[in-house]
Structure 1
Amino acid sequence: MKSIVILGSTGSIGTQTLDVIRNSKRDFNVCALTTNSNIDILYNQVLEFEPEVVVINDYEKYKEFKTIIASNNKKVNVMYGEEGLSYVATYEKADIILSSIVGIAGLKPTYMAIEKGKTVALANKETLVTAGRIISEKAKEKNAFIIPVDSEHSAIFQCIDGHRDFVSRLILTASGGPFRKKSIEELKNVSLEDALRHPNWNMGKKVTIDSATMMNKGLEVIEARWLFDISPDNIDVCIHPESIIHSMVEFVDGVVLAQLGIPDMRIPIKYSLTYPERTVTHYNRLDFTKIKSISFEEPDISRFPCLNLAYDALKDGDSSCIVLNGANEVAVNLFLEEKIAFTDIYDIVADTLEKHVRTNINCLEDVFCTDEWARNMALELHRKR
């Protein structure tokens, strides 16, 4: 039985992880859960999975939850904020730390888990987008193992297992999101409701908007560069609307391996928890007799320019990737609050990158300082629009 800590248990990946564990309780023990502020969902998770520790990042919600736990005589250690996250990220009993906190907030606890030499199931792509070099070097130093959870990176991980030295090219697939066929003029007027309606995947709001702009795929390119130690010139993106092939790897002899499956995040989540073993699941399976076609398209950069922004930032250097991520988080939040148009997301990120002067990134403090600058600049640019 493996003991699991879930950083971000009330979000999309966290709840799906617990669904995986719910159906495999003989294989896993949940020893700690964390949330930003969603204590209603957290309380139900505590009742069902009986973790030893929970962490809440919002102080008022932390106090409220402590009162609820005390009045119901539940035996769970309730901790608060960064100190609590640090404690569970390095939890002695944990075999796997599943990192699914959204955004750069997940960076520090993930780094601490790696510094402790833990196995990390990584669903927080911002960790490698903003601190890929630092995280990669620390993982090698501490012999910590990172297993990707994102469906695309899990696919690549599975395809190259045992053949890493012979990789020629990575091919990340993308569904194209809800606006794959919309014109530039139509994109200017899309609604928040439309943008949150992904055709294939069930994801949180931020990731869903990133998928609609294709920034998500750009962030995945940066993540893949560090996960698999490969040049950006050898990472391609193609549109695959059916979301059956989750990504592909081309080897030096021209052979291409692909990982196929239904679009269900529980499958790569479970693989990250059971690796190197494969265990039985009862999810839906592909029926190849019912698949009428599998198609591919080249991304249209004129309509989805965020993808190119990510490639350019990766080639420009570490600080540009941090700025890209921070400005994008601000822009996406503004769109979610319906303060800007969909196409303004790209404009704000691009303008912020244009203001940025490349700097050296040597430690987490450098990462957070650059991130703060990017967020402030993105907000300033928004106010001046």
Structure 2
Amino acid sequence: MKKISILGSTGSIGTQTLDVIRKNPEKFEVVAISANSSVNLLLEQIKEFKPKYVAVYNESSAEKLKSMIPNNINIEVLSGMEGLEKISSLDEIDVLLTAIVGMIGLKPTLAAIRCGKTIALANKETLVTAGKLVMSEAKKYNVDILPVDSEHSAIFQSLNGENYKNIDKIILTASGGPFRGKTKDELLNVTKNEALKHPNWSMGRKISIDSSTLMNKGLEVIEAKWLFDVDYKDIDVVVHPQSIIHSMVQFNDSSIIAQLGCPDMRLPIQYALTYPDRILNDFERLDFTKFSTFTFEKPDLETFPCLKLAFDCLKMGGTYCAVLNAANEVLVNEFLEDKIGFYDIPYYIEKALEAHESIEDPTLDEILSVDKWARDFVIKSIN
């Protein structure tokens, strides 16, 4: 039985992870869960899964949760970054599934790696901001980083048994989001509610906005570079609106191997938790007779400049990717609060990148400092 700690158990990936565990109680034990402030859902999860630890990042919410937990439940309530780091590095856990949103996942992930825990990674910002550092630590401590994103899981599965040196190209697929086929003029005044309506996937608010701008795909390009040790020139993005082919690998002999399946995040979650095994589930099976056509398009970089910005940051190296990520996190939040427009997101990201003095081969403290600088810069710029 694998013992699991989940960072971000109340979000979209976290709740779907618990659904996988719920269906396989003989295979998994939930040792610890966490959230930012969603104490009501946390309490429900505590009652059902009976973890030994719960971490609430928001300290006042942690105190509130303590007062809500019945006396007959024995659980340790932790708070802040220290709480997240503790549940990530517990002696008794085998796997840390990191589904927390944003830069906040970096330090707990590093803590888990340094304690030799297997990482099931859904928090793409960890590798976007500190890919070189994280992968170096994983190698040092002989830790497996298993991708949970559907695209990276597809690549990982396509590379099973293959020599990474034979990779010619990684082909990341994108649904195109809710605005595929739209022009820039048509998107000037779109609202957050329009941007949140993803055509194929059920996702959280932040990742849904990232999907609408194609920044999500840009972050995935950066993540793929570190996960699979490839040059940015060897990563392509292709729009595949049906979301059935989740990504592909082209090899040096011109062969292409792809992973296909119905769009259901529980599949890559389950694969990361059970790797290297596969187990039976009741997920929808792909019926090819229902799909008469698979279509593919080039991404429109003029209408969706965030994807180009991500490639530019990879090319420039240093701490540009950390700036990209931090600026984007702030701007997506501002857009969700109706304080800025859709195209203010790439506009202010580009301004932050232009103002940044990059650091080559940064330390963790330097990455955290750059992250703070970028957030402060964007807030000052939009105000």
Normalising by the smaller structure, the TM-score range is over 0.9
- 1:232 corresponds to 2:218: no
What is the CA-CA distance between 1:379 and the residue it aligns to?
1.1
Partner of 1:183: 183
Partner of 2:289: 289
**Is the Cα contact below 8 Å between 1:361 and 1:367 reproduced in 2?**
no
User: What one-letter code is carried by the residue in structure 1 that aligns with 2:197?
Assistant: R
The CA distance in 2 between the partners of 1:248 and 1:378, in whole Å, is 36
State how 1:165-314 maps to structure 2 within 5 Å: 165-314=165-314
State how 1:137-176 maps to structure 2 within 5 Å: 137-163=136-162, 164-176=164-176
The CA distance in 1 between the partners of 2:11 and 2:150, in whole Å, is 17
The CA distance in 1 between the partners of 2:135 and 2:315, in whole Å, is 17
The CA distance in 2 between the partners of 1:227 and 1:269, in whole Å, is 17
Aligned residue for 2:303, secondary structure, equals coil
User: What one-letter code is carried by the residue in structure 2 that aligns with 1:242?
Assistant: Q
**Is the Cα contact below 8 Å between 2:149 and 2:268 reproduced in 1?**
yes
**Is the Cα contact below 8 Å between 1:130 and 1:318 reproduced in 2?**
no
State how 1:372-383 maps to structure 2 within 5 Å: 372-383=372-383
What is the CA-CA distance between 1:198 and the residue it aligns to?
0.2
User: What one-letter code is carried by the residue in structure 2 that aligns with 1:364?
Assistant: L
What is the CA-CA distance between 1:361 and the residue it aligns to?
4.0
User: What one-letter code is carried by the residue in structure 1 that aligns with 2:82?
Assistant: E
**Is the Cα contact below 8 Å between 1:172 and 1:238 reproduced in 2?**
yes
The CA distance in 1 between the partners of 2:362 and 2:183, in whole Å, is 42
**Is the Cα contact below 8 Å between 2:318 and 2:362 reproduced in 1?**
no
What is the CA-CA distance between 1:73 and the residue it aligns to?
2.4
The CA distance in 2 between the partners of 1:360 and 1:28, in whole Å, is 41
Aligned residue for 1:65, secondary structure, equals helix
The CA distance in 1 between the partners of 2:313 and 2:111, in whole Å, is 26
Partner of 2:89: 90
The CA distance in 1 between the partners of 2:324 and 2:373, in whole Å, is 11
Partner of 1:363: 363
**Is the Cα contact below 8 Å between 1:55 and 1:80 reproduced in 2?**
yes
**Is the Cα contact below 8 Å between 1:130 and 1:367 reproduced in 2?**
yes
Residues 239-260 of structure 1: per-residue CA shift (max 9 Å, x gap): 0000000000000100000100
Partner of 1:331: 331
User: What one-letter code is carried by the residue in structure 2 that aligns with 1:7?
Assistant: L
- 1:111 corresponds to 2:110: yes
- Single out whichever of 287-296 and 58-67 deviates more from structure 2: 58-67
Residues 282-318 of structure 1: per-residue CA shift (max 9 Å, x gap): 0111100111210000001110111010000011113
Aligned residue for 1:309, secondary structure, equals helix
What is the CA-CA distance between 1:88 and the residue it aligns to?
0.9
State how 1:55-94 maps to structure 2 within 5 Å: 55-69=55-69, 71-94=70-93
**Is the Cα contact below 8 Å between 1:218 and 1:311 reproduced in 2?**
yes
The CA distance in 2 between the partners of 1:171 and 1:243, in whole Å, is 13
**Is the Cα contact below 8 Å between 2:248 and 2:257 reproduced in 1?**
yes
What is the CA-CA distance between 1:369 and the residue it aligns to?
0.2
User: What one-letter code is carried by the residue in structure 2 that aligns with 1:305?
Assistant: P
Measured on the aligned residues, the alpha-carbon RMSD in Å equals 0.8
The CA distance in 1 between the partners of 2:21 and 2:113, in whole Å, is 23
The CA distance in 2 between the partners of 1:111 and 1:327, in whole Å, is 22
User: What one-letter code is carried by the residue in structure 1 that aligns with 2:344?
Assistant: D
**Is the Cα contact below 8 Å between 1:129 and 1:322 reproduced in 2?**
yes
The alignment-based identity, stated in percent, is 53
TM-score in terms of structure 2 length: 0.99
**Is the Cα contact below 8 Å between 1:3 and 1:94 reproduced in 2?**
yes
Residues 206-239 of structure 1: per-residue CA shift (max 9 Å, x gap): 0000000000000000000000000000000000
The CA distance in 1 between the partners of 2:378 and 2:160, in whole Å, is 40
What is the CA-CA distance between 1:360 and the residue it aligns to?
2.7
**Is the Cα contact below 8 Å between 1:131 and 1:318 reproduced in 2?**
no
**Is the Cα contact below 8 Å between 1:37 and 1:57 reproduced in 2?**
yes
TM-score in terms of structure 1 length: 0.98
The CA distance in 1 between the partners of 2:318 and 2:382, in whole Å, is 24
User: What one-letter code is carried by the residue in structure 2 that aligns with 1:112?
Assistant: A
**Is the Cα contact below 8 Å between 2:166 and 2:251 reproduced in 1?**
yes
Aligned residue for 1:338, secondary structure, equals coil
**Is the Cα contact below 8 Å between 2:319 and 2:362 reproduced in 1?**
no
- 1:32 corresponds to 2:54: no
Partner of 1:21: 21
- Single out whichever of 267-276 and 80-89 deviates more from structure 2: 80-89
The CA distance in 2 between the partners of 1:364 and 1:263, in whole Å, is 35
Partner of 1:43: 43
Partner of 1:132: 131
Aligned residue for 2:319, secondary structure, equals helix
Residues 256-277 of structure 1: per-residue CA shift (max 9 Å, x gap): 0010000100000000000000
**Is the Cα contact below 8 Å between 2:214 and 2:307 reproduced in 1?**
yes
Aligned residue for 1:318, secondary structure, equals coil
**Is the Cα contact below 8 Å between 2:62 and 2:79 reproduced in 1?**
yes
Consecutive unaligned residues in structure 1, runs of 5 or more = none
The CA distance in 2 between the partners of 1:322 and 1:59, in whole Å, is 26
**Is the Cα contact below 8 Å between 1:122 and 1:146 reproduced in 2?**
yes
